[in-house]
């Protein structure tokens, strides 16, 4: 026996259960088509909602910023000073979102790890949707506040768990929900959740990672979508999906952003986004300010694809966003489906336990503004062929 034998056993178990994640190698830029494991395939996997990951304006902005500022920030912002580029991105993001202030982080994951422990701690409580993203769960755990899960997208259930807990007299409380749930593509009923937060005067935070650049006027996100401006204390977002780059952002009230500059640990103890990241994100914000054309195209593509999938007989779950889960049930079936799609020239990954519940495995199709009508038709033909072959439709 060696001290890592247990890992070998765990990996063998994952493989036997069809739950071992195979990571494929991409050797092309992001876009509607990719070269994956040496083969040109249609891309139905990435979160490149608006096709910005390889947009000429973003790549040009990154290159010229490198010429002017170099590559790295070289240290934590509080210690070595903050580059003017980061401040510019933050003020542009705040203006785009229509909030008082914004602060950036190295990723959306880090933003959640920063925010939750900065706002609540021991003796406090976090009310968290039971299907919230892993980074919210981890941020809540790090905070050492009591975590109370409420039923998925259920404001009455939220009120119920709050009323059950009240006698325990927590000092502070934070309600947190994903805006768009990344595995199912459903949208949180934010107006009703906000009403509960207001009723109890609790802080409200929404993680809009899959809503930025997707929901709301010109992609301004879930708060804009529901016209809740000024009523949600903070929005966490990512710059790694619709914005096409990498990074995280917290947008909202000035006082909260000021506090995060003092107490957000990934801000205080980890170096900032790199120069090309920031410059490319600035170009993305400019693009979105100028036109909603890409957002419109994303939604046109989404409608076209989903209608056709339902007509073919697939179950696309509860999604009302470009995230299109194709529900298959068992992990082995989802993996076999994904492999067959790849043979047909379509890259769409199977998602199974523990990312989603046991028995709820699926192929998750991510629609993008980068897809043409012909691309969607190609994908649909592959789904039809594989679906019939595997007896799903």
| Catalytic positions | 182, 210, 241
- Answer yes or no whether residue 30 interacts with ligand PMP by CB under 6 A: no
**Distance of alpha carbon 110 from alpha carbon 108, whole angstroms:** 5
Smaller CB distance to ligand PMP: residue 203 or 206? 206
Strands 101-105 and 248-252: antiparallel
Helix (H, G, I), strand (E, B) or coil at 83: coil
**Distance of alpha carbon 118 from alpha carbon 126, whole angstroms:** 12
Smaller CB distance to ligand PMP: residue 108 or 322? 108
Q: Which of 34, 36, 96, 108 binds ligand PMP (CB under 6 A)?
A: 108
Q: How far is CA 236 from CA 54, 57, 114, 262, 321, in A?
A: 24, 25, 10, 17, 18
The span of 29-37, 103-111, 119-127, 324-332 binding ligand PMP (CB under 6 A) equals 103-111
Residue 357, Cβ density class (10 Å: 0-12 exposed, 13-18 middle, ≥19 buried): exposed
Q: How far is the CB of 207 from ligand PMP (least distance, A)?
A: 5
Q: How far is the CB of 237 from ligand PMP (least distance, A)?
A: 9
Smaller CB distance to ligand PMP: residue 214 or 257? 214
Smaller CB distance to ligand PMP: residue 190 or 392? 190
Locate 75 and state its tokens.
Answer: 């240290």
Helix (H, G, I), strand (E, B) or coil at 78: helix
Q: Which of 46, 48, 153, 182 binds ligand PMP (CB under 6 A)?
A: 182
Q: How far is the CB of 33 from ligand PMP (least distance, A)?
A: 23
Q: How far is the CB of 180 from ligand PMP (least distance, A)?
A: 7
**Distance of alpha carbon 332 from alpha carbon 347, whole angstroms:** 17
Smaller CB distance to ligand PMP: residue 133 or 225? 133
162-168-171 Cα angle (round to 5): 85
Identify whether the C-beta of residue 112 lies closer than 8 Å to the C-beta of residue 236. yes
Identify whether the C-beta of residue 147 lies closer than 8 Å to the C-beta of residue 174. no
Smaller CB distance to ligand PMP: residue 107 or 321? 107
In the shown chain, the binding pattern of residues 200 to 219 toward ligand PMP, with x for contact by CB under 6 A and - for none, equals -------x-xx---------
Q: How far is the CB of 169 from ligand PMP (least distance, A)?
A: 31
Q: How far is the CB of 84 from ligand PMP (least distance, A)?
A: 23
Q: Which of 43, 46, 104, 107 binds ligand PMP (CB under 6 A)?
A: 107
Q: Which of 30, 143, 238, 302 binds ligand PMP (CB under 6 A)?
A: 238
Smaller CB distance to ligand PMP: residue 109 or 267? 109
Instruction: Give the gyration radius of the chain's Cα atoms.
Output: 21
Smaller CB distance to ligand PMP: residue 273 or 376? 273
Provide φ and ψ at 83, rounded to 5°.
-75, 145
Identify whether the C-beta of residue 369 lies closer than 8 Å to the C-beta of residue 50. yes
Q: How far is the CB of 279 from ligand PMP (least distance, A)?
A: 18
In the shown chain, the binding pattern of residues 248 to 287 toward ligand PMP, with x for contact by CB under 6 A and - for none, equals x---------------------------------------
Outline where DSSP puts E strands in 32-80: 33-36, 39-43
How many residues at the interface with ligand PMP, by CB under 6 A?
13
- Answer yes or no whether residue 133 interacts with ligand PMP by CB under 6 A: yes
- Answer yes or no whether residue 240 interacts with ligand PMP by CB under 6 A: yes
**Distance of alpha carbon 181 from alpha carbon 187, whole angstroms:** 6
The span of 32-40, 107-115, 292-300, 303-311 binding ligand PMP (CB under 6 A) equals 107-115
Q: How far is CA 167 from CA 150, 170, 274, 275, in A?
A: 17, 8, 47, 49
Taken in order 193, 197, 202, 205, is the CA torsion positive or negative?
positive
Q: How far is the CB of 272 from ligand PMP (least distance, A)?
A: 14
- Answer yes or no whether residue 177 interacts with ligand PMP by CB under 6 A: no
Q: Which of 44, 109, 127, 243 binds ligand PMP (CB under 6 A)?
A: 109
The CB density around residue 82, as the number of other CB atoms within 10 Å, is 15
**Distance of alpha carbon 61 from alpha carbon 47, whole angstroms:** 21
Residue nearest to ligand PMP (CB): 108
Number of H helices, E strands in the chain: 15, 13
List interacting residues with ligand PMP (CB under 6 A): 107-109, 133, 135, 178, 182, 207, 209-210, 238, 240, 248
């Amino acid at each position: 026996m060696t001290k890592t034998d247990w890992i070998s056993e765990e990996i063998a178990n994952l493989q036997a259960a069809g739950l071992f994640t195979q990571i494929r190698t991409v050797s092309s830029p992001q876009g509607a088509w990719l070269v994956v494991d040496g083969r040109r395939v249609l891309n139905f996997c990435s979160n490149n909602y608006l096709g910005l990951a390889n947009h000429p304006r973003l790549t040009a902005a990154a290159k010229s910023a490198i010429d002017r500022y170099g590559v790295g920030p070289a240290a934590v912002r509080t210690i070595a000073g903050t580059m003017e580029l980061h401040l510019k991105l933050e003020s542009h993001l705040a203006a785009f979102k229509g909030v008082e202030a914004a602060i950036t982080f190295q990723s959306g994951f880090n933003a959640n790890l920063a925010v939750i422990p900065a706002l609540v701690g021991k003796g406090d409580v976090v009310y968290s949707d039971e299907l919230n993203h892993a980074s919210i769960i981890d941020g809540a755990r790090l905070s050492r506040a009591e975590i109370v899960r409420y039923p998925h997208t259920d404001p009455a259930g939220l009120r119920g768990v709050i009323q059950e807990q009240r006698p325990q007299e927590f000092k502070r409380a934070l309600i947190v929900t994903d805006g768009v749930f990344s595995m199912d593509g459903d949208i949180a009923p934010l107006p009703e959740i906000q009403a509960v937060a207001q009723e109890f005067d609790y802080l409200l935070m929404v993680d809009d990672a899959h809503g930025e650049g997707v929901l709301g006027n010109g992609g301004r996100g879930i708060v804009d979508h529901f016209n809740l401006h000024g009523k949600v204390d903070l929005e966490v977002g990512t710059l790694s999906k619709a914005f096409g780059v990498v990074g995280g952002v917290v947008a909202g009230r000035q006082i909260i952003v000021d506090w995060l500059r003092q107490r957000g640990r990934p801000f205080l103890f980890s170096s900032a986004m790199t120069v090309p990241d920031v410059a490319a994100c600035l170009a993305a914000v400019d693009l979105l300010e100028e036109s909603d054309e890409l957002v419109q195209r994303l939604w046109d593509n989404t409608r076209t694809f989903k209608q056709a999938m339902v007509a073919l007989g697939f179950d696309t779950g509860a999604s009302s966003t470009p995230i299109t889960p194709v529900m298959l049930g068992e992990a082995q079936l989802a993996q076999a489906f994904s492999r067959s799609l790849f043979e047909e020239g379509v890259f769409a990954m199977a998602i199974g336990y523990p990312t989603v519940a046991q028995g709820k495995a699926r192929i998750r199709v991510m629609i993008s503004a980068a897809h043409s009508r012909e691309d969607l038709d190609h994908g649909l033909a592959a789904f039809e062929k594989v679906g019939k072959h595997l007896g799903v439709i």
